[in-house]
């Protein structure tokens, strides 16, 4: 096995994922549930070492480059937001305080938008990764998830972005609302139906939600159809509301398998040119770009 060069880290609210990199190759990977939400500032170093301590060569510094909520005010160290319009990836990163002499930890700052107020932490690295893999790409990035994000890219900069509470709403409604007993499983036809309703009349969302329950009571709507329809309703409402983003643009969906496919399917019904890209790949590509920046600066300083 090649010698470890550096470590890439994706550190969100509820997860921690690490990749050991040698040259351009991932030679190790690990993850835990020690997300930012569970840790106070002094606990981050221990949570990281629990995964990577064995990887670290003794007697030298290893660079660790972190993206995500780890840079929030409640994170390891606050990495202040950069304001759009700007390139997705910063030129410089924020050093996190460490005890272990083998660690040199950098945190990548997120992006903010003053009006309408919006923030991201982590997605900007995926966007940078997408651009690194597709130089000169202009268009719109859609990042499905708990808090879905849409970002407009032009000439290498994030021009504007918008976050939607779609995934979290789906989780709340399917786990905690009166609908929870009427939803389980997944029957594809329900998604297309909900999607059409959500796209056509996004303003009717609060009413359509109760209709799911009423159809269960009156028409025997199956829990699997109802759950897929709920997903379609929410994603349809999001995409209808995000129209200023995708209209007349090409869209890259950066996300995981099933959910990314639903967004691609939805956009295709609107004849939007769309392609999905695995989120892990773009995250890693963005972290590699950050590492390249660090090396460049070290070389500059050494010269």
Total residues at interface with a second copy (CB under 8 A): 44
118 binding a second copy? (CB under 8 A): yes
26 binding a second copy? (CB under 8 A): no
172 binding a second copy? (CB under 8 A): yes
84 binding a second copy? (CB under 8 A): no
Output DSSP code: residue 134. Answer: S
78 binding a second copy? (CB under 8 A): no
124 binding a second copy? (CB under 8 A): no
Maximum pairwise Cα distance, the chain: 76
For 157-161, which contacts have Cβ atoms below 8 Å and span 24 or more sequence positions?
A: 157/84, 157/85, 157/86, 157/87, 157/88, 158/84, 158/85, 158/86, 158/87, 158/88, 158/111, 158/124, 158/127, 159/84, 159/85, 160/84, 160/85, 160/113, 161/84, 161/111, 161/113, 161/118, 161/120
Q: Which of 1, 155, 207, 302 binds a second copy (CB under 8 A)?
A: 207
CB of 211 vs a second copy, minimal distance in Å = 5
177 binding a second copy? (CB under 8 A): yes
CB of 283 vs a second copy, minimal distance in Å = 21
194 binding a second copy? (CB under 8 A): no
32 binding a second copy? (CB under 8 A): no
CA distance 208 to 172: 16
CB of 281 vs a second copy, minimal distance in Å = 26
Question: Is the CB of 91 or the CB of 203 nearer to a second copy?
Answer: 203
Helix (H, G, I), strand (E, B) or coil at 14: coil
Question: Is the CB of 81 or the CB of 137 nearer to a second copy?
Answer: 81
202 binding a second copy? (CB under 8 A): yes
CA distance 266 to 215: 24
CB of 238 vs a second copy, minimal distance in Å = 5
Q: Which of 1, 3, 58, 206 binds a second copy (CB under 8 A)?
A: 206
For 10, the enclosing helix (H) or strand (E) is strand 6-11
247 binding a second copy? (CB under 8 A): no
Question: Is the CB of 15 or the CB of 112 nearer to a second copy?
Answer: 112
CA distance 116 to 84: 12
Stretch that binds a second copy, among 60-68, 94-102, 238-246, 247-255 (CB under 8 A): 238-246
Question: What sign has the CA pseudo-torsion 21, 99, 294, 288?
Answer: positive
Helix (H, G, I), strand (E, B) or coil at 158: strand
CA distance 262 to 266: 6
Peptide bond into 112 cis (omega under 30): no
CA distance 226 to 4: 49
25 binding a second copy? (CB under 8 A): no
231 binding a second copy? (CB under 8 A): no
14 binding a second copy? (CB under 8 A): no
Q: Which of 44, 164, 191, 263 binds a second copy (CB under 8 A)?
A: 164
Residues of the shown chain interacting with a second copy in the complex, contacts defined by CB under 8 A: 73, 81, 112-114, 116-119, 146-147, 162-166, 168-169, 172-173, 176-178, 202-207, 209-211, 213-215, 217-219, 234, 237-238, 240-242
């Amino acid at each position: 096995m090649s010698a470890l060069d550096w470590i890439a880290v994706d550190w969100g609210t509820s997860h921690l994922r690490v990749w050991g990199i040698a040259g351009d190759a991932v030679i190790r990977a690990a993850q835990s549930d020690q997300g930012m939400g569970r840790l106070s500032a002094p606990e981050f170093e221990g949570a990281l070492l629990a995964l990577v301590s064995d990887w670290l060569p003794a007697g030298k510094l290893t660079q660790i480059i972190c993206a995500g909520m780890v840079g929030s005010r409640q994170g390891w160290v606050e990495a202040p937001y950069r304001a759009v319009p700007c390139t997705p990836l910063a030129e410089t990163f924020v050093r996190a305080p460490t005890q272990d002499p083998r660690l040199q930890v950098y945190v990548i700052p997120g992006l903010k938008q003053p009006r309408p107020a919006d923030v991201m932490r982590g997605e900007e690295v995926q966007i940078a990764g997408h651009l690194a893999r597709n130089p000169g790409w202009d268009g719109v990035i859609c990042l499905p998830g708990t808090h879905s994000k849409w970002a407009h890219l032009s000439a290498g900069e994030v021009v504007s972005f918008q976050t939607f509470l779609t995934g979290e709403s789906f989780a709340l409604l399917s786990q905690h609302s009166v609908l929870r007993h009427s939803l389980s499983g997944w029957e594809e036809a329900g998604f297309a139906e909900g999607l059409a309703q959500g796209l056509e009349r996004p303003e009717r969302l609060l009413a359509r939600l109760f209709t799911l329950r009423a159809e269960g009571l009156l028409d025997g709507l199956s829990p699997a159809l109802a759950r897929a329809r709920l997903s379609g309703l929410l994603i349809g409402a999001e995409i209808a509301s995000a129209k200023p983003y995708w209209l007349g643009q090409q869209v890259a969906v950066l996300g995981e398998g099933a959910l990314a496919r639903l967004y691609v399917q939805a956009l295709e019904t609107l004849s939007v040119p769309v392609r999905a890209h695995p989120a892990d790949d773009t995250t890693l590509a963005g972290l590699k770009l950050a590492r390249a920046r660090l090396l460049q600066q070290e070389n500059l300083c050494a010269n």
